[in-house]
Chains A and B, each alone.
Chain A
Amino acid sequence: MVVGERKPFDEILKMLEGTKKIMVLGCGGCVTVCLTGGHDEVRVLSSQLRMARDKDGNPLEIIEKTVERQCDPEYVEEVANLVPEVDAVLSMACGAGVQYIAERYTATPVSPALNTTFVGGSKKEGYYVERCQTCGECKLYYTGGICPIARCSKSLLNGPCGGSTKGKCEIDPEVDCAWQLIIDRLKALNLMDRYEELMPINDWRTNRDGGPRKMVREDFQR
């Protein structure tokens, strides 16, 4: 899933300066799962905002809404009758959702309430870790199902650097060395011959470096 983290409250308040009525718009997708931008978080953030602005003698009226997914025009359309009523939309979706709102509602400013952090998963409740950097050319076959691009701090493709110590990365003793994990797994699977192959120089065109990407299912384009 796409993981997001709520922005600092003061930054959110600053983005809403000059507004009298806003919509706090949650997303029922990934950010609901990672407990940062769903229905419950919309309620909490809205209450915080009301209290802060009341305290300031500058009350803020808030419409609280959550749609199924903000990255889908069909669901974004659901708030079409409400958006014209507000000075701004505060989207609690990932960066994709925020942009879908901006694209659909061109007359209303939209602000992000979250920092979109990474594509990953949960380790336990409320604890999320990065797993994929969406490079567009999956190499997990060669690396035992552990991604060196997303999980090695230097995205090295041919093995660990000289800073790998006792299974940890040189940047932080809390961070696992991706290559230690890869080697351990290749060994366990008796696939160490895959390590000996030279990984060719990467073609980053499939990554963001090739410009904005798209994926089109031709069979749906009728």
Chain B
Amino acid sequence: MSAELKTDSRLEKILKSGQFAVTGECGPPRGADPEVVRNKCKLLKDNADAFNITDNQTSVVRMSSISSSVIMMQEGLEPVMQMVCRDRNRIAMQSDILGGAALGVKNMLCLSGDHQKFGDHPQAKNVFDLDSIQLIHTVRNMRDNGKFLGGDEIKGVPKLFIGAAENPFADPFEIRVPRLAKKVAAGVEFIQTQCIFNVKKFAEWMKGVVDRGLHEKVFILGGVTPFKSFGMASYMAKKVPGMDVPDELLKRMKETPKEKQAEEGITIAVEIIKQLREMKGISGVHIMAIEWEEKVGEIAQKAGLLPRPKV
């Protein structure tokens, strides 16, 4: 991987300097009150290097990723602006990429997006003009070639560090390494994985990644989510598509007294982070504490990831 910096992203600097990176996540509110974002930012600040701002996650309408990213920057945190292919065509996407970059966004995560069936507007028309891999290519082409998809020159290129997600636990399993290879070929620079609970299966995927040398071409951040309760663990195991929660973890959560389950969930997350740090090819972790932002600091602390480096 070239150590040359392509952007002013702090996340890029940390990863390219060989330090173990930590990213977090912030879900925007279902309203226009900026204080909700500011309050989450206060809980998250200094606990990770950069923070994803989700883009209408689970297809539920929320404050936009771009505007929430701007509020986050006002609070002194570095956002990773997420963008899904579900809601915009290539014209709107390229426009928002320019807009985000103009407002100071330095990282972007390219996603397909959950199907609108899961959200609060299942009647909506979906777009999917591009898929996530094509979106990666689009941003890379805009940044490095200074060209729009239509071929015209961009005056003032968007300097964005380009990320994407990958779910090693979705089916078919054998396609998951080749799919990462396609993202790398399209120009992705960092990957945040789906929540890892089945570390054994994740290690199997990582072996495939390392065997193909992909870890030398892209930074891989393992996704970690703490269970708040047995109820949440069981919901994730049964109801969330593409999620792999091993029975022994479910059993462990179930056998923990209710008032101690949150603590146990954090202990499990910390254990998983420690296992990931030992794994070849892992450059960092992505801590997704869903509507539990106040715990990111505690998890990072217990996993020995604090303080975050100053770059």
| Bound: A167/B149 CA distance, A | 34
How far apart are A160's CB and chain B's nearest CB, in angstroms? Answer: 7
The stretch from B29-37, B46-54, B111-119, B284-292 touching chain A is B111-119
Q: Is the CB of A158 within 8 A of B182?
A: yes
Q: Is the CB of B149 within 8 A of A201?
A: yes
Enumerate chain B residues within 8 angstroms of A158, measured Cβ to Cβ: 131-134, 179, 182
Enumerate chain B residues within 8 angstroms of A156, measured Cβ to Cβ: 112, 128, 131-132
Name which residue of chain B comes closest to A153, CB basis.
Answer: B115
Is A171 part of the binding interface, using a Cβ–Cβ cutoff of 8 Å?
Answer: yes
Is A161 part of the binding interface, using a Cβ–Cβ cutoff of 8 Å?
Answer: yes
> Given the interface contacts A162-B165, A195-B175, A196-B182, does A171 sit within 8 Å of B115 by beta carbon?
yes
Is A164 part of the binding interface, using a Cβ–Cβ cutoff of 8 Å?
Answer: yes
Q: Is the CB of A159 within 8 A of B128?
A: no
Name which residue of chain B comes closest to A157, CB basis.
Answer: B131
Enumerate chain B residues within 8 angstroms of A192, measured Cβ to Cβ: 178
Is B249 part of the binding interface, using a Cβ–Cβ cutoff of 8 Å?
Answer: no
Q: How large is the interface on B (under 10, 10 to 19, 20 to 34, 35 or more residues)?
A: 35 or more
Neighbour of B170 across the interface among A155, A163, A196, A201, CB < 8 A: A163
Is B86 part of the binding interface, using a Cβ–Cβ cutoff of 8 Å?
Answer: yes
Is B167 part of the binding interface, using a Cβ–Cβ cutoff of 8 Å?
Answer: yes
How far apart are B128's CB and chain A's nearest CB, in angstroms? Answer: 5
Q: Is the CB of A198 within 8 A of B182?
A: yes
Q: Is the CB of A160 within 8 A of B171?
A: yes
How far apart are A79's CB and chain B's nearest CB, in angstroms? Answer: 36
How far apart are B108's CB and chain A's nearest CB, in angstroms? Answer: 17
Beyond A160-B175, A196-B181, 7 extra complex contacts between A and B, CB < 8 Å: A159-B182, A162-B241, A164-B172, A170-B114, A171-B118, A195-B175, A199-B134
Enumerate chain A interface residues (CB-CB to B < 8 A): 153-167, 170-172, 177, 179-180, 183-184, 192, 195-196, 198-202, 204
A to B CB contacts below 8 Å, 22 in the list = A154-B115, A155-B128, A156-B112, A158-B179, A158-B182, A159-B175, A159-B182, A160-B170, A161-B242, A162-B166, A162-B167, A163-B242, A164-B170, A164-B242, A165-B170, A192-B178, A198-B133, A198-B137, A198-B185, A199-B134, A201-B90, A201-B137
